[in-house]
């Protein structure tokens, strides 16, 4: 029943007729499944968790309905093996299994959400910010040794890099003949700017002399961003999580280590003490 209500709410919120019809059909199928289980379980009236429905709807608006639907379907896949043990107890289970394993997956493949077409632009912006800014902040940390000064330098670097990245993304998309070059550059720029803002937070809130702790927290935030984004892509696009997560983490941390060393060398060679 939770799936039926959620699919129905998401479907009714969409303007695209194909996607709306797809979700409303899934909602009706979930109602039928629920009716079958309810008949054998003698469950009576089912009370749904309104907060859970609100939470999933909020995720659908923020992360996209495709992500939420595929996340739910991924969870249902875990129950398929248990369903198979009930074939003798519930005659209708064969039809339910057929829906779960074939028809609903075909419906999911029909879903077409705009933001998923720009995942590449988001990856470009986010990955560049992670590599460039974690590296820059690591270098600034040893060179400046003051969280407030580092935050100022990081903000200037981050904002200017955001504008540069967005402009480069627009020119690149336009040169490639893409019709939505402006939208592509916006996705790239916003992903870059949001990542910059998150990475700089420790330097803004910690005391001036806690620069090493700020760097450690920034690296933790960077790994968290990488994990969160790769989890999103693994669900929404059906890609592997582990390999992409390890590659992105290794690149970001590797650049940070190198620039941290450069910061040490520059400080000692130039003899500058801020």
Domain boundaries in the chain? Answer: 2-112, 115-270
pLDDT tens figures, 209-257: 898 899 899 989 988 888 888 887 777 766 778 888 888 888 878 887 8
CB 51 within 8 A of CB 2: no
Q: Per residue in 69-85, is it b (16+ CB within 10 Å) or e — as a string?
A: bbbbbeeeeeeeeebee
Of 118-127, 145-154, 160-169, give the lowest mean pLDDT range. 118-127
Alpha carbon separation from 73 to 52, 79, 90, 99 (Å, rounded): 16, 10, 21, 11
More confident residue, 11 or 235: 11
User: What pLDDT sits at residue 201?
Assistant: 92
Average pLDDT, stretch 108-117? 63
User: What pLDDT sits at residue 119?
Assistant: 67
Of 13-17, 172-176, 184-188, 190-194, give the lowest mean pLDDT range. 172-176
CB 2 within 8 A of CB 48: yes
Of 38-47, 100-109, 162-171, 172-181, give the lowest mean pLDDT range. 100-109
pLDDT tens figures, 63-75: 778 788 878 777 6
User: What pLDDT sits at residue 217?
Assistant: 93
| Residue with token string 């890609």 | 239
- In the chain, DSSP finds a helix count (H) and a strand count (E) of 12, 0
Q: Write down the mean pLDDT value for the chain.
A: 80
Give the list of residues 6+ apart from residue 23 with CB closer than 8 angstroms, or none. Answer: 7, 8, 10, 11, 14, 65, 69
Q: What is the pTM of this model?
A: 0.68
pLDDT tens figures, 254-274: 887 887 777 777 767 766 655
Token pair in block for residue 64: 């996209």
CB 263 within 8 A of CB 134: no
CB 198 within 8 A of CB 225: yes
- Angle at which helix 17-41 crosses helix 65-77, to 10 degrees, equals 30
3-state helix, strand, coil in the chain (%, to 5): 80, 0, 20
CB 216 within 8 A of CB 150: no
CB 169 within 8 A of CB 188: yes
């Amino acid at each position: 029943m939770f799936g039926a209500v959620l699919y129905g709410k998401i479907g009714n919120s969409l303007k695209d007729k194909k996607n709306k019809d797809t979700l409303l059909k899934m909602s009706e199928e979930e109602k039928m499944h629920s009716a079958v289980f309810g008949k054998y379980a003698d469950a009576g009236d089912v009370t749904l968790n309104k907060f859970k429905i609100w939470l999933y709807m909020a995720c659908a608006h923020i992360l996209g309905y495709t992500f939420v639907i595929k996340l739910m379907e991924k969870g249902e896949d875990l129950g398929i093996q248990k369903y198979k043990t009930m074939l003798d107890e519930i005659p209708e289970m064969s039809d339910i299994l057929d829906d779960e394993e074939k028809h609903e997956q075909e419906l999911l493949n029909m879903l077409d959400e705009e933001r998923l077409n720009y995942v590449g632009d988001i990856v470009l912006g986010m990955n560049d910010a992670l590599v460039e800014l974690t590296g820059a902040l690591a270098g600034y940390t040893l060179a400046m040794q003051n969280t407030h000064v580092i935050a100022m330098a990081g903000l200037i670097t981050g904002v200017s890099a955001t504008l540069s990245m967005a402009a480069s993304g627009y020119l690149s998309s336009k040169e490639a003949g893409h019709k939505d070059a402006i939208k592509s550059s916006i996705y790239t720029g916003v992903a870059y700017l949001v990542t910059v803002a998150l990475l700089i937070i420790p330097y803004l809130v910690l005391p001036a002399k806690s620069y090493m702790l700020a760097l450690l927290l920034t690296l933790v935030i960077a790994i968290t961003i990488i994990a969160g984004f790769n989890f999103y892509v693994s669900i929404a696009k059906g890609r592997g999580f582990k390999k992409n997560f390890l590659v992105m983490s290794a690149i970001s941390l590797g650049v940070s280590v190198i620039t941290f060393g450069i910061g040490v060398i520059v400080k000692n060679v130039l003899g500058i003490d801020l």
